Chains A and B, each alone.
Chain A
Amino acid sequence: MATVDFDHVTKRFGEVLALDDFTLHVEDGEFIVLVGPSGSGKTTALRLLAGLESLTAGSIRIGDRVVDRLAPRDRDIAMVFQDYALYPQMTVYENLAFGLKMRKTPKDEIRRRVLRAAEILGIGDLLDRKPRALSGGQRQRVALGRAIVRQPQVFLMDEPLSNLDAKLRAQTRSEIKRIQSEIGTTTVYVTHDQVEAMTMGDRIAVMNRGVLEQVGDPRTVYDEPANVFVAGFIGSPAMSFSRMRAERRDGTVALLRDGALLELPLPGGLPRLPDEVIVGVRPEHARLWREGVGLVGPIEGVVEYVEMLGRETFIGVAAAPEARFIVHADPDARGAPDEHVRFGLEPGRLYLFEPETERALGRV
């Protein structure tokens, strides 16, 4: 087991900058998730760590070894691929044993480790089968098993759940997490799915266009997004944004737009306030208007759509052409497109961002 350090790592493919000055420290035994949309550089970072691509600049360490020029086999890592990459002509047993065999591990040691991994994963009865005779979920387990038997210093996982159906995915999510915390191996996990990131990661690193936008534990990243991108990417349904004029008044801040006025107490931690800000609101902090529950508002708007999820309902509301909000409502809330509604926002839960840099200013 080991720490992992990306030190100012840059990777170019021709003219394309895939990863830009990426620096990240991963603790020993930590489960870290790299999350971002496609093209964000998360997979590139993982492949650089695996040694499947060469660095353009910077350096990577596993433990205290600089691995920049080491072949993948010398890095003491194991990787789970998105398509599992099981060797089709080998049985499950041979698939699990292959990496150990290549390392000239004694036969009985291989056997012991393979059976142990099979037991952990509950695939003991599949050992004689070929991958083609397995279900998607079983293949996924074999791929995990191939990583586990190696007992490497770091697990690398590249979207290992994206080929499973939704139900199996949720189940496997918690299982991977359980196994990882049992074995305690440092894990770098790549996904585009922010739910996976939130539920699995000890910390998550949000990436966008080759840049690390923010890294932190899930709670922090959710509650204190560093910028508009992170705020919009983490959370489902996504945060709504609208531009508003901001005026610092006597102990309060006033947000104005199209005649609407929100007046909120000014917290101490807000150092400066530009004339215009981007205001971000998470759906759970926007609710249908009721007096006396402490919401600020009301804001008037027109219903664009109603999304009933059973346990709750989300209403898409356009307060102005470029000021749309998603409003959280009770499951039995009724509403129809084109209806007028009024809603309010929860004070202290409005995220303010600087319009030019899109950096977070604070919450009001």
Chain B
Amino acid sequence: MDDVVAPVALEAVRRRGPERLPGEPRAVGYLFVAPAFLIYAAFTLVPLLHAVNLSFFEWDGLTPGTFVGLRNYAAFFTDPLIRSSYGHTLVLIVFFSFLPITIGLLLAASLSRIRIRGLTFFRTILFVPVIITNVVVAVTWAWIYAPDGPLNAFLRAIGLGHVARAWLGDFTWALPSVGLVGTWGEFGFCMILFIAGIMKIPASLYEAARVDGAGPVREFLAVTLPGLRHELTVALVLTVIDALSTFDLVYVMTSGGPGTATSVPAFQVYSRAFLTNQVGSAAAIGITLMLIVFAVTFGITRLMERGEG
């Protein structure tokens, strides 16, 4: 008899979809999630679809647009300005991602061997760059980099006056200068993320390593690094996304200049859509950027979490 009942019951479950609890109104879940979802859909998902559509057109924002197929995307390979913008992004990734992670990792690891008194205090200080408004950061660093600003004053004071220059007006140095602001803005976040991660590694693992006679380097490689796998993934994803979508810093500090020496994709989106009336191209750059962000997020997560467990 059981053999007869079972498939019928299963079929009933399948037909009804997820099981409803007794007495629970059918639609209550939808009612609760609808307001958030509708506003999210209306002002994020719908514009996204609209952007995909726009990206197939050449449009100046006023007169009727022309369908150009994938030409706006092909510009990714042919338009030197777009290419150089993505090239700059690669440089920024070094400054926004690799440097802060390396610094944060080394600091966190060197601290992991002792108990820090006043860690909360240091944590509060180290986290300040993360919370400061980007525009303030940009204005502040623009002052630091100014021809007669603190950086050059410092260089002159230690006898390196010949190195001093207008950092943000220099074709070679403008991009690394902007990048270094990113390093400053991200390293505290990475470090505190890693310290929190290290605290979750069981102390017994460190004790075992020390009993086995591991020195600081060996301990770092064998215990700390594997234990931080998840934190490293997170830091990498977030900082790379930050680098890819940098806008505020560039807009305020250099407006992409001198020339186009610090132009980045986000700045291209802005200037094409709102300054030079290449709306379709701007949309295509935005969509391309999003696809790269998706790919990077997915790729890093896959790569880092592979072989875990």
Contacts and interface: CB of A to CB of B under 8 A. Distances in A.
B22 A10 contact: no
Given A20-B2, A21-B2, A51 B23 contact: yes
A54 B21 contact: yes
Nearest to B10: A12
Contacts of B22: 51, 54-55, 67-72
Contact of A70 (B2, B13, B23): B23
A35 to B, nearest CB: 24
Nearest to A68: B22
A53 interface: yes
A73 B21 contact: no
B23 A69 contact: yes
B291 to A, nearest CB: 36
A12 B23 contact: no
Contacts of B10: 12
A51 B5 contact: no
Interface string B5-17: 1100110110000
Interface string A60-77: 000000011111111000
A33 B20 CA distance: 28
Contacts of B3: none
Given A20-B2, A21-B2, A74 B23 contact: yes
A75 to B, nearest CB: 9
A71 B24 contact: yes
A71 B9 CA distance: 21
Determine the interface band of chain A, counting residues with CB < 8 A from chain B.
20 to 34
B12 to A, nearest CB: 8
Contacts of B23: 51, 69-74
Nearest to B5: A57
A60 B112 CA distance: 59
A56 interface: yes
Contacts of A10: 5, 9
B19 interface: yes
Nearest to B25: A71
A52 interface: yes
Interface in A1-33: 10, 12, 17, 20-21
Nearest to A60: B22
A54 B19 contact: yes
B161 to A, nearest CB: 64
B21 A51 contact: yes
A17 B10 CA distance: 11
A10 B8 CA distance: 12
Nearest to B21: A54
A52 B19 CA distance: 11
A207 B157 CA distance: 85
B58 to A, nearest CB: 53
Contacts of A51: 21-23
Interface string A38-53: 0000000000000111
A70 B20 CA distance: 12
A73 B21 CA distance: 12
Given A20-B2, A21-B2, A57 B21 contact: no
A67 B20 CA distance: 15
A52 B21 CA distance: 7
B167 to A, nearest CB: 54
Contacts of B24: 71
Nearest to B23: A71
A66 B19 CA distance: 19
Contacts of A52: 21
A76 to B, nearest CB: 13
Given A69-B22, A70-B23, A56 B2 contact: no
A65 to B, nearest CB: 13
Task: Count chain A CB atoms within 10 A of each CB in B10, B13, B22 and give the residue with the most.
Answer: B22
A57 B10 CA distance: 10
A17 B5 CA distance: 12
A73 B24 CA distance: 11
Given A12-B10, A17-B6, A71-B24, 11 more contacts: A20-B2, A51-B21, A51-B23, A54-B20, A54-B22, A56-B12, A70-B23, A71-B22, A72-B22, A73-B23, A74-B23
7 contacts: A10-B9, A12-B9, A12-B10, A12-B13, A51-B23, A54-B22, A71-B23
Interface of A: 10, 12, 17, 20-21, 51-57, 67-74
Minimum-distance CB pairs A-B, first 9: A71-B23, A51-B22, A56-B9, A54-B19, A69-B22, A57-B9, A70-B23, A54-B22, A54-B21
